[in-house]
Amino acid sequence: MRFMEKTKGTVYLVGAGPGDDGLLTVKAKQILEKAEVVVYDRLVGPRILSILPDFAEKINVGKNVGNHPVPQEEINHILLNKALEGKLVVRLKGGDPFVFGRGGEELELLSQHQVPFVVIPGITSAISAATYAGIPVTHRDFCSSLHIITGRAKKAGDLSIDYASLVKLKGTLVFMMSVAAVGEIADGLMNAGMERGTKVAVIENATRPNQRKFVSQLDNIALVIEQNNVISPATIIVGEVCALSDRFDWFSNLPLKGCKILITRPKQTIGKLSQMLWELGAETVEYPCIRTSTIDFDLNMNHLQWIVFTSAVGVKAFFDKLFTMKMDSRCLHDKKIAVVGSETAAELLKYGIRADFIPSVFDAEHLATELLNSGQITSKDQVGVFRAKTGSEDLVRILTDHNVEVSDVAVYETNYVKNHKIDVNKFDYVAFTSASCVQGFVESFGEDADFSSVNAVCIGKQTASMAKQYGMNTTISDIATISGIVDKIKEIYNGE
């Protein structure tokens, strides 16, 4: 009896780009979302790793300049063995896999064993580091060529760089993995005839919020790197185009450049706020302090004139239940719907429904009061409130105090996430979007911890009140939305 040979998996050699997860290509993201095994290096950031499905096996091979805890040969065999198991394997590398990424070496063994592979290019830091420092690597008034050189020798010893040829080319020179060898490189170029005053830039942690840039000249760059303790990853650019950096540097001028923010939203909603702050130059750390989960509930709406939602999570839970009952939004044709704010309204619109009522101030108290004062809800109405199992009682209390019959329906619950302790003193601000996030944050440290150094930027009075109870310094966003949080952080960070 002949057994069928197991189908080989495919290995995707994927460039993750230079650090800013927004520079990950669409094709790379599509592959990561269905990866079964991911073998990744140190320079791949957590925001990119968060794209991976929960079922994916993640193997950190931790490669760093001069430090390879997992030897290259072993990495090659990991890729081969996982592919032979029939898995969809991703080798995820910083930058581009074929620009000093040893991608060719990793394909050799796969090719020998006839394992299918695909290479997905990534944006290399050789170009993007310069771009994020305001340096065009080519410019008709300065140079017409670009040359990318590694500052690492294959074996211990002097670098095999033909400095004389590089100097004759008169193009922009980009040295990668070269911080440790900058003195040797500078001497080599000057000895070959390059002017000592030639402009040089070094960019550390390119495209990331903690990017640092230093512009000097060739005979001084080694000292600048030493004095400022520049470490890898860093890119060195040599050429007169570096003189344009002061005029063209857009990244250093972002309004939240240098600002460090801790974000406490649930994992499923944390990304939007984090991305908005990141795009403004902030360094964000995602620290989910609560987890929301749908709970079973009876959905009986026949007697209701109004349906009220107090969160986007509640809207989703409601419609998930509706769909499991083989129903859809047509059953709401005779109902009016009120929501607590614009984000809840946006979630409702995903299901093709516009809210009939949104309060002028996005909180439960104003929602109830304005519905009553406007006469839209009276004691003759029956109202269904679909919300979290625990939370503010203001909405239900105010309506019932005015003799409105309320069906208070819990559609999801909130649980605290026990996080590892983090040094909150490293952050300029901690963003809280609900009182539950504050409580979950406190649970991670213990109620007896000292929170007096925490600058809490909060959505709503209730959230701020909870933060104040634990001694935090509080600021409330003008509008109770994540955009409001972002605007308030910009305002106080820039002293507006």
Is 174:242 a contact under the CB 8 Å cutoff?
no
- DSSP class of 2: P
Burial of 82 (0-12, 13-18, 19+ CB in 10 A): buried
**Catalytic position from the list 20, 63, 336, 363:** 63
Percent helix, strand, coil in the chain, to 5, is: 35, 20, 45
The count of residues in the chain is 496
Nearest to 457 by CA among 478, 474, 438: 474
Q: Which two tokens stand for residue 34?
A: 């269905």
Give bridge partners of residue 217 from the DSSP assignment: 199
Rounded Cα gap, residues 181 and 454, in angstroms: 42
Rounded Cα gap, residues 22 and 207, in angstroms: 10
* CA pseudo-torsion sign 328, 330, 334, 339: positive
Rounded Cα gap, residues 430 and 427, in angstroms: 7
Would residue 326 be called left, alpha or beta, if left means φ above 0 and alpha means ψ between -120 and 50 degrees? left
* CA pseudo-torsion sign 368, 374, 376, 381: positive
State the SS3 of 353-373: CCCCECCCCCCHHHHHHHHHH
Q: Tell me, yes or no, if 41 is annotated catalytic.
A: yes
Backbone angles phi, psi at 67, to 5 degrees: -140, 105
How many CB atoms within 10 Å of residue 480? 24
**Catalytic position from the list 20, 21, 41, 363:** 41
Q: Tell me, yes or no, if 380 is annotated catalytic.
A: no
Q: Is the peptide bond before 266 cis (omega within 30 degrees of 0)?
A: no
Rounded Cα gap, residues 107 and 121, in angstroms: 14
In this structure, the strands spanning 455-458 and 283-286 are unpaired
Would residue 292 be called left, alpha or beta, if left means φ above 0 and alpha means ψ between -120 and 50 degrees? beta
Contacts of residue 261, defined as CB under 8 A and 6 or more positions apart, other chains included, come to: 277, 282, 283, 284, 285, 427, 428, 429, 430, 431, 489
Active site residues: 41, 63
